[in-house]
Structure 1
Amino acid sequence: MTVSNFPTGGSPKEGLSNEPRRPGAIKRFGQSFAMFRNGKSLVGLIIVAIFMLTAVFAPWIAPYGPLEKDFDSLKQPPSAEHWLGTTHLGEDVFSQIVYGTRGVLVVGLIAGILATLVAVIVGVAAGYVRGWRSESLSALTNVFLVIPGLPLIIIVASQYDNPSIVLISAVIAITGWAWGARVLRAQTMSLRNRDFVQAARANGEKLYRIIAVEMLPNLTAIIASSFVGTVTAAVLGLTTLAFIGVIPITNLNWGTILFWAQQNGAFPDFWWWYFPAGLCIAIFGMALSLINFGIDEYVNPRLRSAGERARAMRKKGMSLTSGVTAVRDGSDSEPDGEAVTPTRKP
């Protein structure tokens, strides 16, 4: 008698297949980006993506060079030839806005990456190790927390005739990593006593593997939030330094546009010279804040549950701003004797 080695109801191909299940792998990969699935994060990511595409394709988007002059159109308001008007030298404001996006994004990304790396190394190490090593790293973090960032950047930048973008980004990163490290240290101290970390330590796993494999995946949302916050601070710091004239005005960005507008008396009459740059700073900062709000909603269970309830009520047509009516119910099924009746939109 021949005994089949294949499972009942399955074909030979199905019984011998050793291929990994694709949906499971895709699902696990998608869970890493679950923090960006809510509406706030998606809107912020779309806005940031638009700015990034603008910076990458600036030569094709801008109708003129950023320093190209048209002496027949000095301080002209927006028109068909110059969409956002011109400066006192006839330079196209729209082209300067487009090219200035590059400087803002480069400084923001470099400062964000450097500050996040330092925050992860110092914060996770300070939270995992114990004794004097943890206290030393915590003391170092506290020192950098109280260092005034803007005055230090001004002092460092004033020592160079033409400080590079990388130098400015590095100084911003040095003064901006401590907040993220502080939060990561607290969260790591909570994780180091979890069962899965204790099991990995009992199995003799090396320190770097425990941190990289067991802890960092659980810190992804906090690391992303720290990165976004550092980028926001870097962009605001860059535009502030450019506006007050500390960094070279040849490094075109939104702050230098405001600097030249202020130096040449554009406020308040020539609104097209300064208003678009200020609006771009506000929109970009709002986009980063929306991403951060979405991450906070994902990290905080209370905010996440509140957001889920709000979305469920919107789908049912219920109003979130109108009041609710408390109805007294005398039945024994309600312990507190009260029931809440939600109101629907008219």
Structure 2
Amino acid sequence: MKSFLRNGKATAGLAILGVYLLFAIIGPWIAPYDPSARGNDLVKGPSAAHWLGTTHLGQDVLSQLLVGTRSVVYVGFLAAIIATVLSVLVGVAAGYLGGKTDDTLSVFTNVVLVIPAVPLMIIITSTLNDVSDTLIAVIIGLTCWSWNARVLRAQTLSLRRRDFVEAARASGERTWRIIGFELLPNLTAVIASGFVGTVIFAVLSEITLAFIGVVNNGWNWGTILFWAQGQQALGQDAWWWFVPAGLAIAVLGMALALINFGIDEFVSPRLRSAGKTKLRTARGRTVRMRIGFTPVLGGAPPPAKEPALAGEAK
């Protein structure tokens, strides 16, 4: 864990994500106005009274942004938890058990994999009268787990014949214990990477559904963009109406991507050492990386010169 936190990309991503989680918790409490309250200042730019301006109804954009953070973060993480649990159950079970179980679970995974997730979510949510954030998260989680399940199945297939797994099986360990204590610890990085990727997909899916007007169950960043697009904010040069929400989406995606990069570098030493000209060995010796030559250990004595032959000119 310490080596993972030493990674600059992972640390920066976790710090930014922590700010979003903080705003998701306290956002509705620190919002200066009710996000739905109307005012007399219509489509006004940033000012001391409204730091991010107002909408066509005089609503405070900053309040909408703060209140909407909770919905985005909640849906993203709940959907990722559901999808990750399903992908682990299906992918690891299929890869380790094999046989008919693998065939059945693989067919089921392939069927879900080819189903277009976003059109299916649009159909389901548009047919329901009352759509809550929890229901949206459940729908997203049930439709986006198949790809991670395929990855986990492939990784499990490569681990099931390793020596430590064979030793655990030969010693009489039960299947659930082998999976829980031998396989899952070696799949942690893959599971974490899939979780982060699912959060990104879930956030973008919820914002997409709100932006196209399929769901309208409160304020989130997609709702802000929906009203800004519907009221021609770009034509009115009301940049404060849509730019903050767009930046919030972009920065959150960047934070999650940095965490994902950090996980990749933590798992792969080759990625971790890319771009570095000096490395350290386990004994603390310096290794200088030279293109086209074998790495040279720093501090090593220079090679001894061959003795001159008799009669050779010195």
Q: 1:158: which partner in 2?
A: 126
Structure 1: distance between partners of 2:167 and 2:186: 16
RMSD, aligned CA: 2.1
CA contact (8 A) 1:93 1:273 kept: yes
> What's the offset of the Cα at 1:325?
10
Inter-CA distance 186–102: structure 2 relative to 1 (3 Å threshold): same
- Over residues 155-189 of structure 1, what are the superposed CA-to-partner deviations in whole Å (9 max), with x where a residue is unaligned? 00011122111111111111110111111111111
Shift of 1:61: 2.6
Q: 1:243 aligns with which of 189, 211, 231?
A: 211
> Using a 3 Å threshold, how does the CA distance of structure 1 residues 286 and 61 change in structure 2: closer, same or farther?
same
Deviation (angstroms), 1:263: 1.1
Letter in 2 for 1:39: G
- Unaligned runs of 5+ residues in structure 2 are 281-288, 294-302, 304-314
DSSP-derived class of the 1:306 partner: coil
Give 1:208's aligned amino acid.
W
- Aligned pair in 2 of structure 1 residues 310, 40: CA closer, same or farther (>3 Å)? farther
CA distance in 1, matches of 2:248, 2:66: 10
Task: Tell me which residue corresponds to 2:33.
Answer: 64
Q: Distance in 1 between matches of 2:278 and 2:238?
A: 44
Secondary structure in 1 matching 2:108: helix
The structure 1 segments of at least 4 consecutive aligned residues displaced by more than 6 Å after TM superposition are 323-326
Query: Could you tell me the percent identity over the aligned residues?
Result: 57
For residues 25-40 of structure 1, the aligned pairs below 5 Å read 30=1, 34-40=3-9
Deviation (angstroms), 1:37: 3.4
Residue 301 to residue 153, structure 1, CA distance change in 2 (3 Å)? same
Residue aligning to 1:192: 160
Q: Is the 8 A contact 1:266 1:274 kept in 2?
A: yes
Gaps of at least 5 residues in structure 1 are 1-29, 314-319, 327-332, 334-346
**Structure 1 position 312, deviation (Å):** 5.4
Q: 1:310 to 1:41 in 2, by over 3 A?
A: farther
User: How many correspondences in the alignment?
Assistant: 285
Q: How far did 1:78 drift?
A: 0.3
Structure-2 change in CA distance of 1:156 and 1:59 (3 Å):
closer
Deviations 1:201-233 (A, max 9, x none): 011111111001111111111110010000000
1:129 and 2:97 matched = yes
Equivalent-residue separation in structure 2 for 1:160 and 1:153 (angstroms): 11
Q: Residue 102 in 1 paired to residue 70 in 2?
A: yes
Paired with 1:78 and 1:325, the residues of 2 have a C-alpha distance of: 57
Q: Does 1:306 align with 2:274?
A: yes
| Cα offsets for 1:305-345 (capped at 9, x unmatched) | 326x36859xxxxxx9xx9899xxxxxx7xxxxxxxxxxxx
Question: TM (normalized to structure 2)?
Answer: 0.86
Contact 1:35 1:221 in 2 (8 A): no
- 1:1-346 maps to which residues of 2 (within 5 A)? 30=1, 34-71=3-40, 73-248=41-216, 250-268=217-235, 269-306=237-274, 309=276
Whether the 8 Å contact between 2:273 and 2:279 is mirrored in structure 1 is: no
Distance 2:224 2:121 in 1: 20
Amino acid at match of 2:222: G
